[in-house]
Structure 1
Amino acid sequence: MKMNPFAFGTTKWADVERTEHAGDTGMAYWRTQFYGEKPNEIRVRMVEYTPGYVADHWCQKGHVLFCLEGELETTLEDGRRFVLTPGMSYQVGDNAEPHRSSTKTGAKLFIVD
């Protein structure tokens, strides 16, 4: 990720439009902001997964993901599994290790990619 210059700003996440994204089961609710200009635009999201959410795809995008609430299970394509609880994060680069997220209890995440 290259962070080209962009102006200082603050975000009141409750005021950012919420979009819905269905999983194989459950829903993901995203509040998304973009910073900088393409091709180095940075996407920053506050994401909430409902209990029982399972992603509908294997993701190859790199992220820095921080768990704020709940519990998130991330499975890598090679079968390894990682559980994040509040205060934990994971980092993965673009096209490094395909991953898929799920949660039994629900989760709230802060994600930069």
Structure 2
Amino acid sequence: MNNKNIPFQNIDWKSLPRTEHAGTTGVAYWQTMQFDGLRVRYVEYSENYVADHWCEKGHIVYCLKGEVINELKDGTKSVLTEGMSYIVSDGLSSHRSITKKGVHLLIIDGDFLKLKE
């Protein structure tokens, strides 16, 4: 086994430290597992959260609880509610998250989402 492999493990999200990331309004709390070329995060956005940047990174996002509005830079909006997901490769959208009542998300990103030319 090399250091790029991920052995079987349970993740107790409650035991991981939370980092705080201020939005334009509201706050995001991240609990992160980082592996070689892979990041897995449990993310909670507070009420009235608006991301402070347009993100170009690819993600797989699963909505665990609540509702999040995904706004694209062209003004297009979509809503994720509990049980819904979205997926996008790196560099294919400029997007940001907005909440009214807050949301809990599982977000996976990494090298596998790099744009293939």
Segments of structure 1 that go 5 or more residues without pairing to the other structure are none
Among all aligned residue pairs of Structure 1 and Structure 2, give the percentage whose two residues are the same amino acid.
52
Name the counterpart of 1:25: 25
| Alpha-carbon distance in structure 2 between the residues aligned to 1:5 and 1:31 | 21
Name the counterpart of 1:12: 12
2:27 maps to a residue whose letter is M
Pick aligned residue for 2:58 from 58, 62, 66? 62
Q: How does 1:1-113 map to 2 (within 5 A)?
A: 4-35=4-35, 37=36, 41-113=37-109
| Alpha-carbon distance in structure 2 between the residues aligned to 1:57 and 1:10 | 32
TM-score by length of 2: 0.88
Aligned to 1:14, what secondary structure does the other structure show?
Answer: helix
Can you list the C-alpha shifts for 1:41-99, whole angstroms capped at 9, x where unaligned? 20100000000000000000000000011110001112110001000000011011110
TM-score by length of 1: 0.91
Aligned length: 106
Deviation at 1:6, TM superposition (A): 2.1
Segments of structure 2 that go 5 or more residues without pairing to the other structure are 110-117
Measured on the aligned residues, the alpha-carbon RMSD in Å equals 0.9
